[in-house]
């Protein structure tokens, strides 16, 4: 599904992810903490593998829920299985369509993105929710803080996927963000949104101050 997903990215084409995505099983999804991470996959030891297909790289954008109903061969996303549910385009890049399910070897890789980190601001004056996406490097955001030009840094809570929220009123203030990813990289984006920002708007941050923790 390229229009919705458990990470909250919405339309994956509009957000820049396209079809190079995967829904992760419970063991990999980690309650949404893995959203935005990138994986390199190769088809391994199956007669359905395409010869000389090489590898594909996908971004985690969705959750493949467990299925406890029979038959047993539909339980690929159940714990403790590490399973990637791929778009058709990505699957047939490495395996024959008839294979359906194939074994893969995989590893985490750095995400290569176009443009800067993007912040979509949603909610209302009493509840701000921010979708953070197009994050390069580790890709998976582990913490977010927000600051108005008249406020200190305010830690945000993960609402779901990569949507982060706060109940602090910041309407009419310039907004800055502090974003940390799973590799310990901390990125500070100053004055991403001007005082006249509105709900439903998306802002792209072109520059950041970087620190490792």
- Predicted structure pTM score: 0.91
CATH number of the CATH domain containing 104: 2.40.40.10
Q: Which range among 12-21, 45-54, 73-82 shows the weakest confidence by mean pLDDT?
A: 12-21
pLDDT above 60: residue 34: yes
Six-digit token string for 19: 């079809």
- What average pLDDT does the structure give for the chain? 93
pLDDT for the residue numbered 4: 62
Is the CB of residue 177 less than 8 Å from the CB of residue 146? yes
Query: Tell me: the pLDDT tens digits for 179-204?
Result: 999 999 999 999 999 999 999 999 99
Q: Are residues 77 and 36 in the same domain?
A: yes
In a domain, 149, yes or no: yes
In a domain, 1, yes or no: no
In a domain, 84, yes or no: yes
Residue 144 lies in domain? 117-212
DSSP character for 83?
-
d(CA 64, CA 51): 28
Helices of type H across the chain: 26-29, 88-94
pLDDT above 80: residue 213: no
d(CA 101, CA 48): 9
Q: Are residues 187 and 161 in the same domain?
A: yes
CATH number of the CATH domain containing 199: 2.60.40.760
Backbone angles phi, psi at 29, to 5 degrees: -70, -35
In a domain, 9, yes or no: no
Pairing between β-strand 84-86 and β-strand 141-148 as defined by DSSP bridges? unpaired
pLDDT for the residue numbered 165: 98
pLDDT for the residue numbered 206: 74
Is the CB of residue 50 less than 8 Å from the CB of residue 151? no
d(CA 164, CA 160): 7
In a domain, 3, yes or no: no
Q: Are residues 190 and 133 in the same domain?
A: yes
> How far is C-alpha 28 from the geometric centre of its chain's CA atoms?
13
Tell me: cis bond preceding 101? Omega within 30 of 0 counts: no
> How far is C-alpha 196 from the geometric centre of its chain's CA atoms?
28
């Amino acid at each position: 599904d390229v229009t919705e997903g458990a990470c909250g990215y919405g339309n994956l084409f509009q957000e820049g992810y396209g079809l190079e995505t995967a829904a992760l099983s419970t063991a990999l999804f980690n309650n949404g903490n893995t959203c935005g991470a990138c994986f390199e996959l190769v088809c391994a030891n199956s007669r359905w593998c395409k010869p000389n297909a090489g590898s594909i790289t996908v971004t985690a954008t969705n959750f493949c829920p467990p299925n406890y109903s029979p038959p047993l061969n539909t339980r690929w996303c159940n714990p403790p299985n590490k399973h990637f549910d791929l778009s058709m385009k990505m699957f047939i890049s490495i395996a024959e369509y008839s294979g359906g399910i194939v074994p893969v070897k995989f590893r985490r890789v750095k995400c290569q993105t176009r443009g800067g980190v993007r912040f979509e601001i949603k909610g209302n004056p009493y509840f701000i929710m921010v979708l953070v996406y197009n994050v390069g490097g580790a890709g998976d955001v582990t913490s977010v803080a927000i600051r108005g030009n008249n406020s200190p840094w305010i830690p945000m809570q993960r609402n779901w996927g990569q949507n982060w929220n706060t109940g602090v009123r910041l309407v009419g203030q310039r907004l800055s963000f502090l974003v940390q990813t799973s590799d310990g990289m901390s990125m500070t984006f100053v004055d991403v949104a001007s005082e006249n920002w509105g709900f439903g708007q998306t802002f792209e941050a072109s520059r950041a101050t970087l620190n490792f923790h």
